[in-house]
Structure formats: structure tokens, C-alpha cells
Structure 1
Amino acid sequence: VIVNPAAGQGACGKAWPEFEAGLRSALGDIDVTITARAGDETDLARQGIADGAEHFIAVGGDGTMNGVLNGIMGDGAPKNDRVRLSVIPAGTANEMARAIGFHGDPAGAIQSIASGRVQRFDLLQAECVGLDGDAHRHFGTLAISWGGAAEIVYRTNNSRFLKKLGGRFSYYANTLIVTLTYPMQNCDLTVDGRQIKDQVYYSGLVCNMEFLGGGMRLAPGADHTDGVANFLFFKDIPRREIIFQKPSWLFDGHHVDHEKVDYFPGQVFEVQGDTDALVD
């Protein structure tokens, strides 16, 4: 069990004694480790794999779960295909828990873990060149974003004051801030071998889940078990349209109908830009 006490602006740490009692009652003896800083989740999971662990429980938010996942995966598939990853939602948005039916329900998550019920999930794999010039590979379950969307996630994760007001509010507020300040970018796309040249864009995402960012319906119809991701590409939409229409679009999913929004399924996506951009 890997616990991030800082998740949910410290709410996870406060609730952990109750979660621990529930886990020990349901599972018996458990091995608990507490993170002290960002990145510990990955290191602890990697060590667990080396020690032969087969079941990991991430207690925290989506970032905690993602860190544990990357520790399990390492450079590729885990050596042991019996490895399982469970999550007890105690973070800001908890989108992974939403997808599996336990959003805001840690007790229900513990009961599900105790039952031994297993769900299979598609994983996303991102490969990019970092600002350090080195190649990086990361795995995720929710989405891969770049450009404006990645900037929004970065600001949300680092906005302590806004996160205290709730995951949905924090994401929404940072969406408005980034929309006003983020410059349009140029890139070439390749989707399942098909090239799309000279695209001007504000933001792009490869989505594995229908709901992201505090309950926004960013990827209508996305299915995390179908072996296909959904590509969402915001092109050069005028700022006034983004500011005055985008909030409602994103929560009801109607943004995908806009003439300057591309939305289609695929499995392999490649983006090459002429300027540096954040990837999340």
C-alpha cells in the first residue's frame, strides 16, 4: 500500500487512519509505505516489483496512482503479468476512481479490493524528448496532453490555493487563465500512419477516459477497454469563442462538434512541433 498524505491538499493524510483500519479489516496484514515527496510513488512501486509484490494499492489522487503505475511498468510491461493495481480515491479530481465507479467512495473502493474483482484497462504510452534532450517514456490511464491542456494540468497541480476550492473549480479557473495567455502553436501530425501537415493548434489530447479534469466530458464515448484512444485537437479557435463557450462545451461534450475541433479514434499518434511545449 503506497500512501500519499499530501493528496487532496492533505485530506488523504487525515483520512488515512480510517482507510488503514478498513484495509486491515478487509485484507488482514498489509505492507504500508508513506511518500515524503513527489516521485516517491514511482520509486516505491519499482522497489515493490523488485521484491516480488503482485498487488499495489495507491491511496491518493490520480497523480499518486499514475506514479505507482509507472513504477510498476518501468521500461515496459511488468515482468509478472499477475500484478494488479488498485486505487483508494483521496485526491483532487479522482478521475480514475470515477471511471471504475468509486468516485468519492473510498469505502466502496476498499470493499471492491477485498472482493478480488478485477477490471482490465487500456494503458497509454507517451514517448517524448525532454527539455534535457533525453528521451522519456511514461505510462498513464487517463490522457496524454500537450500544449494548452498540459499547461492547464501543470498549473492545476501547482495551484495550492485554487485546489483548496475543489478540483473542478481549480481546473476551470486555470482553463480560463491559460486560454487568455497561451500562444497558438504549429505542428505536423501523424495518426496511425496518416500524415496531417502544418496544423495550427491551441491544445491536443489523446484520451482514454470520457471524463477528465474534474468531471469535464472531454472525450464523449471514450472507452478505456476498447484498445483505441480518442484524439482531441483544438485548432486555431478564436479566443472569444473559447472564453465564452468553452466552459459549457467541455462539461456537456459539445466542443467536439466545432468546426475547428478534430476528434477521432486511433492507436498511434505522433506530434512534431516547431517550438517546445509541455507534455503531461
Structure 2
Amino acid sequence: MNTKWFVIINPTSGNGAAKKKWIPIYNELKKQQFNFDFSFTEHKNHSFEILKKALKQGITKFICVGGDGTLHTIVNGILSLNPVNISEIKLGIIPIGTANDWVRTYNISKDYKKAIQTLKAEFTVKQDIGKLLIHENNTTIYFNNLAGIGFDGYVVNKVHHYKNLGFLAYLTGAIVSLTSYKKSTLKIIFNKIKIEEKTLMLLMGICKYSGGGMQLTKNINPTDGLFDISHINKISLITLLINIGGLFNGKITHHKLVKSYKTSKLKITVLDTQKTYIQADGELVGMGSFEAEILPKALHFIVAKS
């Protein structure tokens, strides 16, 4: 069995912080006696090529140096390559990003030395992964944290303008966008339930945090084989501003405007011609109708021991 690690670095993560911090990270990995190869990603799908090559060499331990978007890309690379030894693959992260939402669920330190200690311990969680089939272009997208359609996707489309605000980027985008967003009529089918109405947004959560530390879905359990659904029909700017604290401590999910469900599969049909954006792990992945299903305990992630 190959004991070597492979480190994938996204040099643009954290507004270029990953590139600047690579030398001290490299030195710390050496100091903590990691045997590793590494590669910088040079374009959007480069990590797919890197993974393919590393998997052919029998490498099963991967480290992502980047943020939620980099981790999302690597997860998609692994799942789409569908390696025969997927149960042996372990994926860890040294978090350098804008939001760093996924790591919050597992208390992975943003201090790279502590994050490397976590990697060295190799304590893993076999986590659920979401799978989206987007009808518009017949693409399959995987996600490891949270996906959504409607206002959520609209905000992600806007957020790149506010990236320099770090974890407040999503909140700023949401406040700026709420008055200009036009709701789509969605048909949502799951668990023999059918909802057909104008919808602000629908979220499918696997892990606890999104949008820079917000808790927008409740009863989270990343290993129960179920999505945690939040369906929000409408919310006014005043209600949003009054409940800003609730967005971050999770109390918003108890608001009467938020309906919560659990399901392993759902189908969303957009019934009007509105541009209806879909986001997964904070990345814009498509528009329009889609189907979603959960892949129970699909991938081993290296996390901090709780």
C-alpha cells in the first residue's frame, strides 16, 4: 500500500493566501515527517488531472490546501473518477479560504500547524455526499457541505464582488440582493410531498455551516444518509436584518417562515422562465430544474477528534 500523501494547492484560495503560505506549510509538513508529492492547480479542472495521475500511482491520501471551493472541486474529482479503491481514500484539508465553512463542522483549525497535526492523526469520518443531476446541461455535480436553488444561488452569483470582505461576503451579498431578487415558481417533490409555489430558496444541507458561518438548516448530521432541507417561501429585508444573529446561531431555522424537512432524494422543477441559479458548496453550478440524492457515507474525510 502506498503511504505517500498528495497535496493539491489552489494558489488563488483566500485571495492568494495559499500561494503565500505554501513555503511555511511545506516546511511544516516536512517537519512533521510527511512523505508527500504536491502540485498547484493551474486552471479550473486541473485537480481532476492531478487526481487521476495520483490515483494511478496508488496514492490514497490527499490534502487540499485551499477553501470550500477547492475542497468541492477535489471531491468532484474523486467521485467523478469513481476509483475502485474509493473506500481506501482519505481526504484532509489545510484551510485557506474566504469562508472555510466545511471545516467549522469538524473543528479543523485554521492554524496550519494544528491542521497538519490533525492530518497526521488520520482520524476519519465517513461522510455523506450530495449528488445533483442538473437537467439544463445534463451534468452531475457532487457536494460535501450544502447546495441550494433560488436566492441562495443568486447571492453566490453576486458574492464575487464582495470577496475581499471575507466571511461577511455572503451576508453583504444577501442584504444587497434581497430587494432586486425575483422569486421563481418551483415544484418540489420528496417523501410523497409536493410543494408548488413561488419560492425564495430551498437549501439541502449535509454539514452545519454555510455562507461564512451561517447555520441555515437544522438537525444536521453529516452521516445519517439524509439531506436537511430548509424551504423559505419569503422573507423581507427588515425580517432578515432583525434576524441577523439567528442566521449565525441557527435560530433562524425555528422562524415560522422556514420549513424544515429530512429526505434522501428530491426533484425540483422550475415552472417559469426566471433565471434560477443552483449553488453547491458556494460554487455556482448551473440553472433550472434538477434532481438530488444523497450518497450515504461516500467518502472518508480526515477531521479533528471531537
Higher relative contact order (CA 8 A, sep 6+): 2
**1:145 corresponds to 2:148:** yes
C-alpha change, 1:216 and 1:17, in structure 2 (3 Å) is same
Matched ranges for 1:104-123 at <5 A: 104-123=110-129
Quickly say closer, same or farther: Cα 1:55–1:107, change in 2 above 3 A.
same
Separation (CA, whole Å) in 2 of partners of 1:272 and 1:239: 27
Paired positions, count: 270
2:155 is aligned with 1:173:
no
Q: For residues 216 and 195 of structure 2, what CA distance do their matches in structure 1 show?
A: 24
The residue that corresponds to 2:231 in the other structure is 233
Opposite residue 221 of structure 1, the aligned amino acid is: N
Which residue identity lines up with residue 259 of structure 2 in the other structure?
D
Q: CA deviation at 1:246?
A: 4.2
Query: In 1, Cα distance between the equivalents of 2:202 and 2:165?
Result: 26
Deviations for 1:169-223, whole angstroms, at most 9, x for unmatched residues? Answer: 111100112212111110111113x131422111111001122111111123311
Runs of 4+ in 1 over 6 A off after TM superposition: none
CA-CA distance at 1:262 after TM superposition: 1.2
1:12-31 paired onto structure 2 within 5 Å: 12-31=18-37
After TM superposition, give the deviation of residue 138 of structure 1 in Å. 1.1
Aligned to 1:163: 163
Q: Residue 83 of structure 2 aligns with which residue?
A: 78
Decide whether the 8 Å contact of 2:94 with 2:110 is kept in 1: no
1:27–1:114 CA contact under 8 A, matched in 2:
no
Tell me the amino acid that sits aligned with residue 196 of structure 1: K
Does the 8 A contact of 2:10 with 2:18 survive in 1? Answer: yes
Contact 1:46 1:74 in 2 (8 A): no
Q: Does 1:261 align with 2:258?
A: yes
Query: What is the CA RMSD across the aligned residues, in angstroms?
Result: 1.8
Task: State how far apart, in whole Å, the 2-side matches of 1:72 and 1:16 are.
Answer: 23
For 1:273 and 1:146, the matched residues in 2 are separated by 10
What letter is aligned with 1:63? G
Question: SS of the counterpart of 1:217?
Answer: coil
User: Equivalents in 1 of 2:197, 2:56: separation in Å?
Assistant: 44
1:127-146 equivalences in 2 (<5 Å): 127-130=133-136, 134-146=137-149
SS in structure 1 at match of 2:113: helix
Partner of residue 181, structure 2:
182
CA distance 1:98–1:252, change in 2 (3 Å) = closer
Amino acid at match of 2:235: I
Following the alignment from structure 1 to structure 2, what is the Cα–Cα distance between the partners of residues 71 and 191?
Answer: 28
**Match for 2:43 among 37, 41, 44?**
37
Structure-2 change in CA distance of 1:183 and 1:268 (3 Å): same
Please state whether the residue corresponding to 1:127 is helix, strand or coil: strand
Name the SS of the counterpart of 2:31 in structure 1. Answer: helix
Give the superposition deviation at 1:153. Answer: 2.1
Change (3 A) 1:232 1:78: farther
Q: Kindly state the Cα deviation for residue 259 of structure 1 after the two structures are TM-superposed.
A: 2.8
SS at match of 1:70: helix
Correspondent of 2:245 among 233, 243, 248: 248
* Cα contact 1:44–1:71 (8 A) shared by 2: no
Q: Give the TM-score normalised by structure 1.
A: 0.90
> Does the C-alpha gap of structure 1 residues 252 and 27 become closer, same or farther in structure 2, counting only changes over 3 Å?
same
Q: Tell whether 2:212 aligns with 1:214.
A: yes
Instruction: Structure 2: state its 5+ residue gaps.
Output: 1-6, 280-306
- 1:79 aligned partner, one-letter code: V
Aligned to 1:191: 190
Q: Provide the rounded CA distance (Å) in 2 between the counterparts of 1:199 and 1:28.
A: 53
Structure 2 CA distance for partners of 1:237 and 1:273, relative to 1, 3 Å: same
Write the letter of the residue equivalent to 2:198. Answer: V
Q: What secondary structure is seen at the aligned counterpart in 2 of 1:121?
A: strand
CA offset at residue 143 of structure 1?
Answer: 0.6
Would you say 1:201 and 2:199 are equivalent positions? Answer: yes
Give the aligned residue type for 2:84.
Answer: K
Equivalents in 2 of 1:21, 1:115: separation in Å? 18
